[in-house]
Structures are given as structure tokens and as C-alpha cells.
Structure 1
Amino acid sequence: MELPDLLTDLFRRHRDRTALRTAGRSWTYQELDRVTGALAARIGRECPPGRRVLVAGEHTIEATVWALAVMRSHGVYTPMNPGLPADRFVEFARVAEAGLLVCFDRAALLRAERAGIAALHAGDVGWPAEAAPAGETTRSRVAYSIFTSGSTGNPKLVDVGHGGLLNLCRSLRRRLDITPDDDVLQFGSLSFDASITEILGALYAGATLVVPAQDGVSWLGSVSRHLAAHGADLAMIPPSVYARLDAAARGRIRKVQFCGEALGENEYREAARHGRVFNAYGPTEATVCFSLAELTEFENTIGTPNDGFRAVVRDPETGAYATAGTGELIIVGDGVALGYAGATGTENDVFRTYEGSPAYATGDVVTLAPDGRLAYVGRNDEQIKRLGHRVNLAHVESLLARHLGRDVALIRRDETILLVTTGEGADTPESLMARIRGLVPVWEAPDHVVLTGELPLTPGGKVDRNALRDRLDTPAPAEDDADAAVLAQVLGVVTAVLGREIDPETSIFDAGGSSLAMIQIQVKLSEAHGEHAVEAAFAAMDYDFVPATFVRHLGGGTVAAAASPAETLLHRVERDRDALRAELPTLRRDTRHDPDPAIGDRAVLLTGASGFIGGHVLDRLLTAGRGVLVVATGDPERVLTGHRARFGRAAADYARVRAITYAELEQWIDRRRGPALDAVLHCGYQVNHLLPLDSHLTGSVRNTTLVVRGAAALGARSFAFLSAASAGREFGPLSAAALTAAGDPYSRSKLIAEEHVNTLAGLGCAVAHYRPGLVYGHRPEDHDHLKDDWFTALIGTARRVGVMPRITGHVPVCDVGTLAGTLLAGIGPGPDARSAVVVHRTYPLGELLAHAGLTAADVVEPAEWFERVRAGGEVSPPLLAAMQAALSGPGWPTAHREVEHDILGRLLGSVHASSRR
């Protein structure tokens, strides 16, 4: 029986029973018959017969209904993971030679356009009332296709025929004892073929397929809460996922079928406490499920073959086949897949015949008992299971080597996967991991990137993996460094999953992580620290994940005793601040002031002179004839030479300027000798909203602390700090609430730097913090300072692509000349030396559209805009990420105009004019 006929028969056989349910909505079999029939007819009008229909959706009842509609149509059901990287998505679509894409996210429409295939957005179609009469058409011999990887790293498709589906359904109903009264959990992603067993197994038995409503960020957390509240008669899930469910959820599963990865004894014993336990095995190439066992005690078995299948083993040395013994498992029967579409070379050689029947060589080593029971031994190649997906390391290694343009080796060390490559070029482990995340899905990505010298080779010219493993061995951390070592290991796992570093006190969801990322992190940490300890830590965090909080809970902390991430950070800042406050009086008292003939007495210390704002401040100081001590992160002389060229000044203008490095300033402080200062204007700070907090603390905040110490030692009477409007609109004592309200690590670091500067007030030094919005007013010579500016890049990109992302609130902008005057006015004690948020003008969406030459009709949602821009490849990934981070907030809440001239208009007009020269 072919798949469309099978579903039609089931819908009509069980008519009035409930077929599908989610929170607040259910469908009878009769309703599903009508709706899926109507949608199948619509698909038939959009897609040529026999072509693949891509379904890019998951974890919703809407996506499940459409999946059933495609199965009933004359197309070939081909689910796709909607979270694939854009290039990978387009590549998969092309390999599928698809006739249609069904999607649930409008950003996918852009991907379909890029791949040159027709697309239907489910929201535009709705639920048709009645199906049009179906005409006669030729169906494909392929029932459905599922993506996997090829030996060259290219995507390929497993084409599964109709022959094994009825046997699959019969076996599941009989062996799992599925009844019409059962609720069957629909957990698996549609792109993972376990969802086929959930959907067809439930419907064949007349049971109810239940799709939990996603009630938070984490899909796993939503499933866990659903199970705790409602339970399930049958759940088909990987052991590592079962271990992540909370105790209440596990206790309400009546039957659990483990699948996707090896079953451990801990998971078996926990599941056996609450109900019946089954263990299933089956590659994609054997219609999902080949064998099944009900376990009444823990044993290493994957059961006996399902209806329509039989097993033989092949001796790897002689090639002989046997019906008992140990060897490579050969699956025989009508449920063997038809082959790989898009395969290259000899990949389809795994499909063969045995005694006239279709057969598949699995590559899995098993022991086959005379009574037909199978015990899994391992793999005969480099394939492993990760997050329920089978991954061929050789395939992934080939793909990454090709796309990264360098030699790589994937090395297994226990359950950790390392990508080892040479340290040539400017790539860092972090930058390589970020690129890898754009090439492969998370289950194929390595856990860490390791840079080394040349890769060692065997005499035959292949990578010597044993030599690499020996090279990578490192001693265990000292016992007193245990907490730091655990945190470093946890952060390494998080970095590998997310593709970039995050602050230890930041939630992975705040850092852009997904529920799939959460599951992978949980699995990896369980492998390192044990199931029960990790389970308890995750339960304490309510299935959020903050690295430092996890480490505290792992060490036995409780929710009541553990401080929040912001409180922990605040304590750290307060400790550093108090130490600085205690040191400053001794610096003020003990430092000897040596007159400097160049800068004179009571000069101004300036940082950031090579930056956009600091450069304008230095120009103003030169005009005023002030002596200036420039402190620079780079070569001091190059800073002054660059400033001279930028502002067209003569060398004589710098007669009263002396430039030193931060290291020289620190030497002055340590030696308690240096020139006397009047004021400090601290403009030097790395503006990067994507860096983790630790990078800011060890970089810009550390430099700020050094300048504060210098201000105390050299007798400065005032200190003006160029902060940021993103740090907030209120000035007051630093608190955990203020750190929480600051939306990103850069903004939090500005608040911390302000707190360090405030310690100077105890010496009688006048302190002022200026928090400006986006600062413009660039001259042609200043345009280099716009290369990493997210806002002007966004306007320019919107102008090029002809659409603007929807922006809420206002964008706060400052004029650099006016801001420089404000900073200079703060020199010395007096009424002008006060902290302030500095915004000269705000721009709403309407004005931004006018500057980009667009109208309200050209506005799209941010997700769609970013997808289009990303697909065009016009903007670098870091700059695109900065745009996304900036647009994730609510925007400036109120309109404001302090200057009449159009700051943004002047900027964009200048850029446009300069581009014509």
C-alpha cells in the first residue's frame, strides 16, 4: 500500500476519534482527512507530480498537518531543518531538485527564491474548507526522502519506498502495544526521521498524536512541563533527551521507546521505575525502525527484526554471510531504502541484494544470536551518533577542509570531537568555529578547534591520528584550580555549540542560543560530569543555562543560596573597586611630580586620540593651546602622525603634546614619578557590543582602571569619562538591577568602568560621566571610522536592497563637535562637571526611510530583512551580528531635538558625495 492510500484509509477508518491535539486545539481523523486532502490538492496545483516537496518546519501542530498533507499529495515528502545555515539550506534544496517549499517563516521565502524553487507560506494558505476533486496522476515510487551527508561532505537524500511502511506501522502497533486510547508524544523534529514513527505509528493504531505547545524559549523545557502536567502513554525519545526531562515528567510516561543512540543503564533503570521500556534500532536507510526489544532488565540488545525484515552478518575479512555470529549487520527486506539521490562515487554500493531481496550494509557491528536477537557492538568506520543523528566524521572532515580551504583532522577523544588544523594565517579557534557554525548543523560541528603545527603524517601520507592524540594530551589541572578548570571546560562546550564565546554570567538564550543548543550542552556536560549531577543543576536553573551558575549548582549550591549572575558580578566589581579606593590615597600622597618642559604644568591627559571622538577632542585642545599628554594603545608617534594627516595640521601644532603608551603610564605610577595634570579626558574604549564581558574587563575596563590610578598619582583635579547611552538613563549607585538592565556586555562594562572612575571622588577630583548616543559629524577624512558602524551600515544596506527593517522607538544621535565641546567644558571643578546622558537628536523610522530614499511600503520585519541581507553576502557576519544585537532592544523611548541641523542627513550626504569622487 502506498503512503497516500495508507493515510486515506486510516483517516476514514478511525473517523470520529481524536487524531491530533495541542493546547486549545484538536482534530478528529475526519477533520484531518478533509483538511489534509484540501492542502494536498493545493500542493498538487503548485508542484509537478513526483517532485520533492520540502517542508521546513517543526514542533507545531500546523507543521504536522502540512507534513501529512504532503504525504497524501502526489509529491515526495522531504522534511528540512529550518535552522540550517542559509547556504546549507539552499544547497540541500538544489540537491533535492524540489518542486515546492512549504514554510512557516517568511525568511524561508527568500531562501526559496535564492534556490530558484516555488514556495508556499502556510500562513497565506490557511485551512481550506474543501478539497478539489483529485485527478488521476502518476505517483513516485519514493514515499519520502530524508537528508543525510555524503562521503564528500555534500548533502544527499535517502529515498525511502512505500514497501516497508505498512510493516512498520503493524510492528509498532503490535510490539509497542499502541491502542486507540493512547496519547503518543510528538517530540522529534520533522527533519529527523523518528518523527515518521511517531506520526504513522499513532495514526495506524487510531491513537492521538499530541504536539506540546512551546511555552518558552526551550523546546525541551516545554515538553518537560507538558509531560509533568498531562503525561503520555508513549514517548519515543533518545536516552540523552530522557535524562534531561525533570522527575515529574519522567514519572508520567507510561511507555518509553528509546531510540537514536545507545541506551545506558541509568536511563533504563529510571524509566523502568515508571512504566514499560523498549529499545529500538534503525538506520534511516531501513524505514526508520529495523528492530525492537521490550526490556524487563538491562541488557545490551537492540531486539529482533520488525515485520518484513531479517538480519544477516557479514564477516569483514572473508566477506561471507551468516545467520548467526559477529560481523557487519546486513538488513534484508522490502523496507530497505531505494538508495541515495545525489550520491557520488560508490556511496550507493551499500545498497545491494541478498538472496533476491533488497539489502543494506549498515556499517554497524553486531552479534546475531541463533534466536534472532541482536546485540550492538560498535561501528566499522568513523560514524558516530550525536543528538540522535548519525554523523560520519570522514564526511564532515571532507566538507570542512574544502570550505575552510585548509587541512583539517577530526579527532575523537572519548565523546569529545576536536577539529585540529594548522595555526597558519590570521584565523583563531574562535573565528574558525564561527565559520564552521555557518557550514554544518550543530550535531556535525566539533566541540573545540585546536591549532597546531603541521599535521603529522603516516608513511602512507595520511594524517597520523594516533600521533595527533599524543600531541593533544595535556596534564590534569591542579586540585586547587578545580573550579576554574570546570568553568573553563563548561565555557568550552558553550563556545563549541554557539560558535562564539559568552560571558560566564550570561544565559545562552540571551546570547542567541536555541533549544537545540541547550540540549547539546546538556548532553555534553552529562558525559563529563554525570547524569544525576547535571540533571540536578539544570533543574535548579529551570532549564535556563548560565555557565557560572551551572558550575555553582554542580558544586552543590542551591537556588536559595546561589546569588544571581548580576549579584555575583556586582560582588566582583565591588571587591575590585574597594581595592582601588584603598590604593588611590597612597598614590596621591606618594607620587613626585616632575615638570615636563613640553606639556607644561597642569596639562590634560587624553586617551582615544586615534579614535573618532578622541581625535576631535585633541583637535580642540590644540586650538586652545593646551598642553596634552596622549596615552595610546598603539605606537604613540603613529597616533600623532595619523592625527596630523587627518586634521591637516602642521607639526608645530603638536609642540605641547607628549604621547606615551599605557605601559609607560603604568611605569610612572609604579615609580611614583610623573608630570602634574589638570584634567583627564578618557575617550579610549573598544566599542564592540559582541565581545564577552571578560574581554571588556581585561581590555578597556583594565585600561580605565590604569587611567584612574594615573589621575590619582598625577594630581588630576577633574576626570571626564566618555561612557555610552546604552548604559542607561539613570545615574546612581551601581546595583545588580542596573547591571541586569544594561542589555549587553559592552554596556555593562561601561557601568563597571564608571564605578571605578567614581573612586576618584574620594580624593576631591570632580568626576563626570557623559553617555552619548550614536556620534556622527564625520568629515571625508573621518570616514574610516565608519567601517564598523552598525547604524550607517544598516541605512546604506537598506538603500541598496530597497527595504528597511522595522525599527521601534527612536535612534539617539549626537554631533561630534557639540559633544567635544561638552567634554572640554567638563575640565576642572565647577557647575559644568556633572554626569549626563548626551543626545542631540533622535530619529524615528519615518525619517530613516526618507534618508534611505524609501517609503513605509518598504518596511519589513527584522528577521526577513536580515535573511535577505545575509543571503546577498553584502555585509560581513560580525557587522551583521552587531546590527541584530542593536535592533533587539526597544529603542530610545522619546523624541528629542537639541540641535537644529540634520546630523544624519549631513552624514549620508557626505558619504554619497564622496563616493562619486
Structure 2
Amino acid sequence: MSSNVPQRVRDGATLSACILEALEKRGDDEVMFALLRHRHCDSSNAGWLEGSSDAVDGMEAGITVERVTKRIWCAFVALLERRVFTSSHDHGTLLPVGGAHGTPGDEPGVVDECDVGVYSRETFYACLVESVCLCLGWTFCLFRPDDPPLRLQRLEQRRRPRCKLHSDDIASLLRGALSVDENNASSRELEAVGAGTNPPTRLPVAQIDDSRVAYYMYTSGSTRDPKCVVVSRGNLRAYLLRFILDKDGLAVVDPRCRFFCLSSPFFDPSIGDMLVGLCTPHGVLYTCTQEDLLNGRVAPLLACVQPTHVVSTPAVWSSLTAAGHLLSFLSSSTPPMKVFLGGEHMSQELINTWADKVELYNVYGVTEVTIYQSVWRIFPGTRAEDVKCGPGVGTRIRVQSLDAASDMFLGDRDASESEGGLCQELCEPARADYGEVVLYGDQVCCGYTEDTASSSFGYDPSTGERFFCTGDIGRLVSTGVGGRPELELRGRRDWEMKLNGQRVALEEVEGTVQRALEGLSSQCACFCIQSTSGTPAIGAAVVLTDVVSGELLRDHKDGVSAALEELLALHLPSFMVPRRWLLFANGASLPQTPTGKVSRTQLAVDAVQGQREELGAQPKGKHDGCNWEEDELYRVVQSVWQSMLGVPIRCDTHYIHAGGDSLGALKLSHAVYLRLHAGSHAGIDEHGRLPPPFQPCVLLQHPRFGDYVQALREGWTAAPLNDEPKPASGEAVPVLLPLLPSPQVLSRAETAADFLFREVVAAQGAGIADRLLHHGLVDVNGHNSRTHRCSTPLHVAVASCYSLEQELPTLRVVEVLLQHGARLTAVTPDGVTAAHLASSRSATILQRLLGHDRGVVHCRDIRQQSLLHFAARSGNVEAVRLLHHYGLKVDTRDKWQRTPVHWAVLNGHTAVLEEMALRCASSAITVSTTAIVKAPESNGSSAKRHRFPGNETARFTRLARKKTYLAYETLHEIADRIHPGNDQVKRLCDCLAPSVGEAAAAE
């Protein structure tokens, strides 16, 4: 490590002097640090939040706070000092005030040791210890208690902390300080009575030279042992004066500043935030527990404090917005808070959400130059790609040309031509504008503890300033006459990778993905991963804003991923389009590092793990997600599916999403049975019941084609029909009926596009569907035509609504499809419209469809079933009530001569029967009233002949015998067969039988 460290900041004062001056101005009972948490956590010192709003509402009543006043803090210093000296004495190393360190580099082998090791994940405890160390001149280092044991052991051996403090130790010391303060309260009162005033609190501040080491900070983001940065007290003081207090920096000038820290203790901004509580006369640093932060419970804490300043990362702030509902908690009556977000790029959604509600700033900095070095205000309407880092604040920023850094940046000369072509494809500005960002000034740290000859630290011989080469690639953009140039980042040197012989800046790909998916995602990150062949590939993780069901997203991940790739192919060369996707539903957040940044390492690990799991479950030679062998049984059943559903069938085709329904499951299962038994009806009873494993319930339990074939194979092996031997896997199936030809109406490209669009719709991705349709990449009707009947994306959208929670997402997809011209009259091979499916799923969706085209209300499918039949079969009372409003009758009959009432009885939907009975009773009263008012004609010649209730059963029996082999059953016969002993169903049958032309009571 270099020993050339500036002795003092240029104005001559020291960090110790700044601390002492602030403490002298602060009252003994003023709060310096405060820990907020929800009441479920154990807290022994709950109280009112100093500096917050004047009224405590129900939300604030559930929040507790541990307050550390100046007096309590001084008692904590004394107890900690005693603890450290005791620990040093036990280890045979007496620790003097000011620590064991002189100027870095004066004592080789000793300079790398630290006085205090902090092992706490709680920022509040870490800040308390750090503030004491700065006052007494002790050096400190943060260690992650959850580090792998061997790695933690190596890091400890390098720093060799003389005293180790864990969270329990610090909490115990704080309780002791609170107890001391309470015990001394009475004695202070007596002294105040005798002397007329409270005695001043002794301030435990040692005068330490700024050349001494303040702390050691390990950098993040490395899978190996991280580098350790050495920060001097002079570096820290420069950051305090020239960034925290500067009007162009954090501008902590409010005498009653309420500063909320949302940083991990292992992220160096938390140390800078600590200075607000220590080095400002009246400022308060608020923090929360890591448990509340990780579980999205920080929003009410922020609302309770109404902070003036917040420093965090875009990942953390986005997670509070999505999962924590932060917007709903914030008050509009208080001045807007200043929110400083740094460490990574902001998404467009974050900017759109917050730029007009708070003073939003982008901050830029590197650990090696003491936390942050520039600030840029983000105003409403700013686009994410236009966000800059701003001019240097307290630090001079230069951009070293790439030519000068060619040995570091353009290592592969053979790639120069490809790079030029890549720049053209990306429409980039001239590369001459870009270079490596180099930072100069007093905030530049002392170096790394394990320094190497190729260190990025150095001195400018012309000015004597210390500098650090950041490895960031950017340019300085002019702001006009008199304005300082602003830094605009492009990426990093170490984010580059080589694909197909061409250099690719991963951050550029990520920026393009964010822009292309603007409005579709709340978070996006790209990462590098090795493909199965061992070559590098680009992966992407996206949190989709309009997909609310994680289960649906997992089921349709392949199709949604393919759709995203199609959209990105409009913006990126093919070799730069991410091919490995991690998809998250709305409300989720990407994994974070301990410092609050997106953990691309963890994303890559998750992607590799998912890839291994897929390969482990996939037989050799299969690349379409099918896990089962394509034997003769597979091909026979596939032919039946294709002929019945009218769409190409893949191994992962979902029966419901391909346009099937519960009644169609009976028809398809019946067709499969006949195909496998040479057209023989043997084994099918008089009610149409199929033997196992050909029952419709098997299809509904295994709706994906590959799973259904496997269920047939296993069930048929376990229970062969009439001792008929089931061929083993791979043997021929004795089929006498010819296989129906597969539909070949779509090209290969159309089939692929149609598949991915259906998957997007099934996952309820309204925004992605809208974008695909807008760019003309897919057909809104799924290539449905008069000659090619098949389920449409609208069928798929309606079928994806399984619950009330999914109703609104489904409705959004339906709106998109209707806006782009989806036809409600499009039918499946069974004549089923989307309105039929909506009748069985959701009255709200059905109402929207009928509002778009009322003409479909009277449509019937190939089985002559009306919308009311579908609603009654599924037990959808709201849909039944809606269809009654549209004038549909309960006595409408299908090919089996069954009315909606028959299907309601058959499926045991008593609520539907009660609604129908109420409707019929109401209609009967209306008809009776009309008959009384209207007098019959005298001669009766024009009187219409009416059928009387109870005289139609024989006719229905004859009609059923002509159209189907199933025997006709009256309502009472069905009730006696399916629901014997159910008096409620029988009573409802008595009420409804006359309305459908049957006798009022069972004979």
C-alpha cells in the first residue's frame, strides 16, 4: 500500500475538530441516532420520534424507536472504551487512545491491522461503533458474519482486529448506556437544583491527525477474496465538507435534518450517513432493521419520520415501491424529501414514479474515492438513457482517452473491425468521446492493503493531486457557456465480453433491454453465463410489471422468454439478444448484494442452476421440453388432439389454453378411446362413462399433452380393458382407424410466433402482447379462419382466468386483444366462442365481451349449447344472472336435449338452480299478469296454441334418440341418480321442471 497520504485537508482543520465542534453545539438530550422498527420486534425504549410530524396516527402507533441522545451516546462511548481496553489487555496488546496506527506505511506489517472488527448486519449498531471509533481514533473494519467460514477466516487474518464486536455485544453495551443514563438522571436533577444548571457532558473526542487510517472497507461484487480499501481520516473529512455539507452535494444544511439510511453496513454510504448524526449540530440519523428492510416493511417507517434526506440504491428503492407500497404512505403536505440513489442505473419506471414526487438525484461514486463524488438532479420527464452523473462535487473528474488506455481497454486488436461494425449496429456516438473515468482530489483513498504494481492509484506529477482510475467508461458532456461538464457513463471495462468474435459491452445490452422493455418491466439486469457448449452467453433477469401470477409465469416461461427475444431482436443484433431468462412477476425484486445493488453473480448462479435442472430432466435428443418418448401411442393421441383442437400439438401444449373445456374433454377422451380400440364402444356404459384411464378427469388433471400421454400409458398398463394387453413403450398400438392428417395451414415461422403469443396471453402479459401486436409480430386471431377453426388468443386469455384475483389481469389482456381487432365470432373446431368460455369463468369478462359485440349472446357451439349452458355447467351464478338480463331462456336445449337446468342439476350447482328458480318465478308472475290484462279473441281463431307443462318428455326422448346414443333423463331422474337423498335439489327440480316442459313432480 502506498504511504503517500495527504496530512490534512487544505483548509487546515481536522476531522476531530469537526466532530468536537458539532458535539459542542448539540444539546445533551438531542437525538443523534435512532433505530425504527415495527412493534412486533422487541424494543425496550419506545418513544416519540423527534423531528417527525406532530400527530401520531394508527400507523405510527405500531412503530417503536430506540433513541440515542448525545448523553446516552457519551455513556456508550465510555462503556465501549472499557470493553475495547479489556479485550486488548486480555490479548496482551494495550490499545492507547488514538489507536495503534501512525501514518500508513510507516510500520510495515502493522498498518494493515485494525483496532475494532464489527460483525453486525444491522446498520444502526455498526454506525454507533463507527462513530465511537472516529472520536477515539480507532480504526475499524466491517466483517460479514454470514461470509463462508474459510473466507471470513482469511479476511480476519489479514486485518487481525484487536477487539471483535457482534450485534449482541453492541446491543448489550447500548442497554448498559441507557441504564447508566437512567440511573444518573436523578443525580443530575439534584446537581441542577444546587448549581442552577445541568453540568456539561464530557465529550470523548481525541485529537487525531487526519493522516491516520479511519477504516478499512472491503469492496463488493467479487466471488474471490475482495480488495480492501484503506480510507484515511482526511479522506473522510473531505467527503464531509465537500459532499455532505456542500450545496451541490447532499446539501445537509437544514439544522433539523432528518436523514434516513437505507444502506447496508457493508456499503460505504452507510459510513457517510453516520457522519450526519455525528458531525452536524442537530441532525438525526434514522435507520431500520435489516429484517424490516428485506421484508418490505420500511414504507411506514419512512412515512412516520418524513425524512429530509434518503440515500439508497435503485434496487432497494424499487423494492419499497413495489412490495412496500411506499407511495401510499407518504404525505403530500410536507416538503418533498431529497432521495439520492446510486450504485447502478435507474429504471424508467422508477423515474416516472418518483421524479415528480420527491427531489430525485442520481449519485455516482466509487469506494476507492470515499463513497460518492457527483450528483445529478432528475426532473420529471427525464428518460433513463439520458440520466447523467453530473459534475464532480469536491472531486475533479477527467476522462482519459481510450487510445491512452489501449493497453487496458482494447486488448484484442483482431476485434477492432468487428467493434467498428458493432458500434454502427448500436448507433453509438463516436468512440473518441469516451474514455476511462479518472477521479482526482482529497477523497482519493490511500490504496489497497494488498497493493500491486498495476495499482489504479497514483499521483499527478503536475499538480501533486492523488488520482484513481475507476475502470468506468464515460465522457464529459458540455452544459453550455459557464457550466461545468457533466459525466455521462457508458459502462465498464470489465463488463465487456466476446461473442462470435465481437466485443460486447454488457451494460450497453442491459441499457438497450431496459429501453426496449420500457413500461413492461420494473427491474432489469443482464449477466454473463456459460452455455451448455461452454461458450459465453448473455442472460437477462426481468421483473414484469403486468404479470401478477408467478405460477402462470413459471408455466409459460418458455413462450414469454421467446416473446421478449422477438421484441429485442428489433433493437439488438441477434448475437446480442439475451438467450437465458430469469422472469419474475410483479411485486418481486431481483436479488441484492449486501450493499443493496443487484446481485448479478446470484442471477448467474440461479440461471446455471435452472439450466442444470432442465438438462437433468430432459432426455437426449429432446429440445422442446418433452420428457416422454414419442412412440406409437404418443403419435396416435397427438393426431386426435390436433384434429379436435385444430392447432399444432407440442409436448407442452396445454389443453385448456388450446381452446378445450370440460365438456370438450369428454369428447376428446371418447375420441382417444375409439381410436385406440378400433372404433369399438365396448366398455362405455349407457350414460357415456368411459373406463379408466380414459375418463375426462384424467385429461383435466393432466392438461399438458406430454403429461396426459404418460398418464394414459401408466393407467392403461395398470388396468387394461377386458384383459387386453397394453403394448409396452415403443411397441406398435393396434389401431384400425386411419390417423387424421395434422393441420398444416401455418408455416414454421407462423407456428413459432403463434405459440409464443399464446403463451404470453396465457401468462396474462398484457403489455408484452400489446407490444407484439403493435410491431406486427403476431396475428391477433391466431390465424383462425372459416377454413381453419382453432382456438384464438382471446380464447386463451379467457381460459387463463382461474380465480377472482386473476380477473383484472385477464381483463387487461382481453382489452388489448379487442383493441387490436380480435373477433368474438371466431370459434374452435367445436364451435366454442370466447364468450362461451367467459360464461364459465367470469361474469365481468363476459360483460366486457358482450359490450363489445352483443351479437354473440345468442351463439351456440357444435353441441348446440348456449352461453347459459356453459354458465350453468360451471356454476357461475353471476354469469347466469347476467345472461338472464340479456334474455337467454332456461329451456334452451342442446343436442342431448338438456337445458341449462339439466346441467346445473347434473353438476350439483344448487346456487345456480336457486337463481334460475327465482328467475322463472318472476317470469311466471309477469306472464300471468299479461294474460289477465290481455283478453282473448271472441272466436279464438287466432289464438296461439301453447304447450302445457309436463307433456313434452316423450318428445324430448325421441329427439335425443335421433341425435345421440345417450338416453334422455328428466331433471328428477338425474337428481335421483346423482344426488339421491338431497331434498334441496329435488325441491328445486319441482320448481323448475314446468319451465323446461317436464312434470312438476317425479312419477
Q: Give the TM-score, by structure 2 length.
A: 0.39
Indicate the structure (1 or 2) with the bigger Cα radius of gyration.
2
Determine which structure has the larger strand proportion and give its number: 1
